[in-house]
């Protein structure tokens, strides 16, 4: 773990040094590619005036609500489809077709239907999270060994006991894999909604920086989004370590 952390820190330092050298000696205008120091100073300014914490809080709220809604809906639907292959055959064409349409293409429609408040952003975020969690839920439930069902039936276990004692633990590794993907995609969903229509959030800061040629602010917003995605990914990783101790 220590070696991995050191290698990550070294790669980040090497990236920053290369970025600094490129901007310093590459004769590139500041509004096209700011230096790391310019981005850092803009970050401190945005934190100092409260704009970055405020807009980050708005985006994080949208991400968390969208992630929870998408995961909950996908888990319920995925479990039902895993138990009924007939229902899966009926609904799978519609589910796959919905994923063939880019979210950015239907985002304006969702903004029109749900207005430009937080609900439209949460809906877009939930939609982009839905599919990977759904697929992993179906795969996870169907991966439960038949022998475990036979054992529980021989013990006259109830349906609830089979669910919580067999299906949930056995399918959890695959489910958490889908959750890891969904957690990172949720950031994209929130930003897509904010870029379509928003007056607050990190997507709004991205657009504001773009319109004002404040490229350093654009970099600050992008790096903040990366930090949010890494944070969510890390939380899911911690959940895996917590609930999958029995695999070690």
Number of domains within the chain: 1
Measured CA to CA in angstroms, residue 161 lies from 38, 84, 116, 146 at distances of 58, 20, 44, 16
Question: Domain for residue 9, yes or no?
Answer: no
Tokens of 92: 């799978």
Q: Residue 225: inside a domain, yes or no?
A: yes
15 belongs to a structural domain: no
DSSP summary character for residue 246:
G
Domain assignment present for residue 16? The answer is: no
pLDDT at 224: 94
Distance of alpha carbon 189 from alpha carbon 98, whole angstroms: 15
* Nearest by Cα to 104 from 218, 203, 225, 193: 193
pLDDT, residue 220, reads 94
pLDDT of residue 248: 56
Residue 23 maps to a domain: no
Give the Cα separation of 217 and 208 in Å (integer): 8
Position 12 in a domain:
no
The model's pTM: 0.87
| pLDDT given at position 42 | 92
Angstrom distances, CA of residue 189 to CA of 94, 125, 163, 185, 212: 20, 4, 31, 6, 24
Within a domain: residue 175? yes
The answer to whether position 17 is within a domain reads no
**Residue ranges, the chain, pLDDT below 50:** none
- Angle (CA) 159-160-164 rounded to 5° is 120
CA distance 219 to 196: 19
The pLDDT value recorded for residue 91 is: 85
**What pLDDT score was predicted for residue 56?**
93
Q: Alpha-carbon distance 75 to 68, whole Å?
A: 10
* CATH code for position 236: 1.10.3720.10
Domain containing 45 equals 36-243
What pLDDT does 35 receive? 87
């Amino acid at each position: 773990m220590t070696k991995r952390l050191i290698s990550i820190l070294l790669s980040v330092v090497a990236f920053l040094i290369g970025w600094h050298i490129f901007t310093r000696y590459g004769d590139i205008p500041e509004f096209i590619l700011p230096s790391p120091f310019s981005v850092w100073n803009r970050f401190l300014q945005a934190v100092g005036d409260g704009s970055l914490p405020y807009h980050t809080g708005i985006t994080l709220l949208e991400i968390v609500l969208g992630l929870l809604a998408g995961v909950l809906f996908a888990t319920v639907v995925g479990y039902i489809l895993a138990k009924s292959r007939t229902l899966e055959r009926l609904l799978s064409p519609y589910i796959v077709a919905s994923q063939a349409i880019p979210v950015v293409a239907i985002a304006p429609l969702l903004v029109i239907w749900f207005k430009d408040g937080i609900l439209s952003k949460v809906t877009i975020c939930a939609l982009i999270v839905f599919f990977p969690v759904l697929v992993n839920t179906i795969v996870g439930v169907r991966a439960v060994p038949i022998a475990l069902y036979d054992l529980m039936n021989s013990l006259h276990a109830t349906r609830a006991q089979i669910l919580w004692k067999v299906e949930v633990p056995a399918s959890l590794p695959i489910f958490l894999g889908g959750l890891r993907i969904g957690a990172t995609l949720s950031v994209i969903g929130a930003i897509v909604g904010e870029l379509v229509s928003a007056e607050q959030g990190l997507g709004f800061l991205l657009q504001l920086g773009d319109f004002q040629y404040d490229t350093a602010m654009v970099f600050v917003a992008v790096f903040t989004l990366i930090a949010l995605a890494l944070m969510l990914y890390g939380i899911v990783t911690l959940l895996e370590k917590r609930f999958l101790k029995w695999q070690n």
